[in-house]
Chain A
């Protein structure tokens, strides 16, 4: 009876999911409600969790509730602490979900809602969630080893070094592109800059409060911090409305980029308790709150999707970023579908907290499904905007011109309807002087969210407040990633440099700290600055690089996962990681190859460098460059970008070759299939916690 009921229930879920997908895919000419997209996604998630993740939990790893986890065996009360599964779930989710799943889907909306939605839903079920779960289980069985350590031990030293380099590369590009998103959201926006600027003293105040005023009262300090964020929001509005103050806080892109670079350096050098930790607490609260509010807004409003299912830009002529649907939608949306970065978290803090082995399914697979749901919501928020408005916000200056009239004309030429008045009105509604060419995804997402929130919670008068609230929280996430990333990058660099000169490795010797921090900041600062002065907006070239880097790391993770599975003697289930691995390899190689070698100057870095050089040689200035020096800089930047992309490609080939060799050896019987798992030990403690 129970069995029958369960079969019926799952059949109903399957039918609801299939029906919703059909409704989305078959609707032509009329607007589709976001409800279909949500229902389709949730049904697929439920089925994938119930049936597909079972293969990992039961067939591959045979997760065993009687087996002691590292948290129990190595419990030290600090690093290894057995923790309730829902707490680990929340902690893991807060660690994996950042600005990535919000920005990627927003950018990919230029292809229409269908390609992005399908990739997010299918990609997470057979790719991202599998990767996270397999790496978590592998690390769980190896005392919480990191991805780099596992790559080295399971595949070989070459793979280990590739993983290390991939991590450094991805961090530099990730921080640069996220910082660029912030800069683009804040340029010429006194409200935005004041609000975000005030979050720094707020975090400092919390740091001081926690250190001296009321030590260790984190929740109390966070509550005060959150209240002060609201004050900062209103302070920004007040400054933006003041004719004498507003110009003082109006900065152009390059100036803000320099401020962000200076901030990144300071944050990496200051003690963590003062800035990093309190900002992190604040950001975690805001993150959870905003995800919940976004879900609520979408469910209450159920907006129709204004964007067509598929736009004409699938042919590669899109203004937001260059390149055809294949492979670029799969590069643009990484977080939300599959994100290699997660493998670092799944093999970092999380495996040291699990109380019981079967929890790994909920946390590894389940938390990634939840991130995917966030990505779907971001896609809905972007596609609920009028397409004309979406493109006016996300297309670069070089294509739109600088006035509402030229922008409206350009957008109309692409086949979308928008008038200069509408654009000017929207800018007034959200309290900005202009919303044109605010590339990077954050502003259009903020406009989408502001519409949802004001429709669900408050009248249109609140649009400007909601818009800046959304900008503030996105920027808050990003700065948290930026300063934590810079700091980690500094430690990694110090670890490398100490081989050259020992004192450079000392983590509390100020000259070394200042120098290595400056080097890390210099690396991402270079890419940030070149992006800011790029007439095509920077996102155009940097976001694909970030996507390729992230998918490279996913390739490493899936290679490690496959090796682990094969060495366990479970080669017949290796398809779980091999299928996403093959897909990612094809996608990454194609995208990387196109970015480096395509003859289309909009797409290929080298072709673009050549075009600019030819224009210069002909005695002309290329589009968007004001001086000859600007133009030569564009040429150099293109070549650096081409080099970075080629380097990532070479890394993919290296890691694949090393893995294939290992698999052949094991499968061909030349190497014994020995699992490096820590042997079974029964659990002793069953109560939560101690």
Chain B
């Protein structure tokens, strides 16, 4: 969490952006930026899925198995 704050110039708007990102993750929106970051960091040579395809793939997974929704 701290490194993000260190690199930003406007802490307030960065804070809001982080809060919104957290909110998105809580309601279950797949995090594309994180995925791209991960691919660049760990698999530099590999092809990165475009955003649309990534989202489609994540959603198919989310709604394709039990264990993401309860009574």
Binding site for B on A (CB under 8 A): 75-79, 81, 83-84, 86-87, 90-91, 94-100, 146, 167, 171, 174, 178, 215-216, 218-219, 222, 272-273, 276-277, 280-281, 284-285, 288, 334-335, 339, 341-342, 344-345, 347-349, 480-481, 484-485, 487-488, 491-492, 507, 546, 550, 687-690
Contact = CB atoms under 8 A, between A and B. Distances in A.
25 contacts: A77-B39, A78-B30, A81-B31, A84-B1, A86-B22, A87-B22, A91-B26, A94-B28, A95-B70, A98-B71, A171-B66, A216-B55, A276-B63, A277-B62, A284-B26, A341-B71, A349-B62, A481-B69, A488-B64, A488-B65, A491-B64, A491-B65, A687-B2, A689-B1, A690-B41
B28 A167 contact: no
B37 to A, nearest CB: 6
Contact of A216 (B32, B34, B60, B70): B32
A484 B63 contact: yes
Closest 7 CB pairs of A and B: A348-B67, A77-B38, A100-B71, A90-B26, A77-B35, A284-B27, A344-B67
Contacts of B56: 273
Nearest to B61: A79
Contact of A339 (B1, B30, B69, B71): B71
Contacts of A277: 59, 62-63
B38 A76 contact: yes
Contacts of A276: 59, 63
B14 interface: no
Size range of the chain B interface in the assembly: 35 or more
Contacts of B44: none
A178 B69 CA distance: 14
Nearest to B64: A491
A87 B25 contact: yes
A272 B59 contact: yes
A280 to B, nearest CB: 6
A690 B31 CA distance: 12
Contact of A349 (B3, B23, B51, B67): B67
A95 B71 contact: no
Contact of A688 (B1, B20, B63): B1
A348 B68 contact: yes
B20 A91 contact: no
Contacts of A77: 34-39
B69 A219 contact: no
Contact of A83 (B25, B29, B70): B25
A689 B27 contact: no
A265 to B, nearest CB: 15
A103 B8 CA distance: 47
Contacts of A218: 24, 27, 29
B44 to A, nearest CB: 13
Interface of B: 1-3, 20, 22-32, 34-39, 41-42, 51-52, 54-71
Among A78, A94, A272, A285, chain B packs the most CB atoms within 10 A around the CB of A78
Chain A interface main SS type: helix
Contacts of A95: 68-70
B22 A335 contact: no
B3 A687 contact: yes
A349 B2 CA distance: 26
Contacts of A83: 25
B25 A96 contact: no
A33 B62 CA distance: 43
Contacts of B58: 78
Contacts of B63: 272, 276-277, 484, 487-488
B70 A342 contact: yes
Nearest to A334: B71
Contacts of B1: 84, 687-689
Contacts of A288: 26
Contact of A690 (B20, B32, B38, B51): B38
Nearest to A344: B67
Contact of B22 (A84, A341, A687): A84
Nearest to A211: B52
B71 A481 contact: yes
B26 to A, nearest CB: 4
B71 A222 contact: no
A167 B70 CA distance: 12
Contacts of A487: 63-64
Contact of B70 (A96, A284, A688, A689): A96
Contacts of A507: 64
A94 B27 contact: yes
Given A94-B27, A272-B63, A484 B69 contact: yes
A98 B59 contact: no
A21 B69 CA distance: 33
Nearest to A104: B71
Contacts of A688: 1
Contacts of A488: 63-66, 69
Contacts of B32: 216
A332 to B, nearest CB: 13
B66 A492 contact: yes
Nearest to B71: A100
A284 B55 CA distance: 18
A662 to B, nearest CB: 24
Contacts of B69: 95, 98, 345, 480-481, 484-485, 488
Contacts of B24: 218-219
Given A95-B70, A272-B59, A485-B69, 5 more contacts: A78-B54, A90-B26, A218-B24, A272-B62, A688-B1
Given A77-B35, A272-B63, A488-B63, A219 B70 contact: no
Nearest to B41: A690
B34 A690 contact: yes
Contact of B59 (A84, A90, A273): A273
A22 B68 CA distance: 39
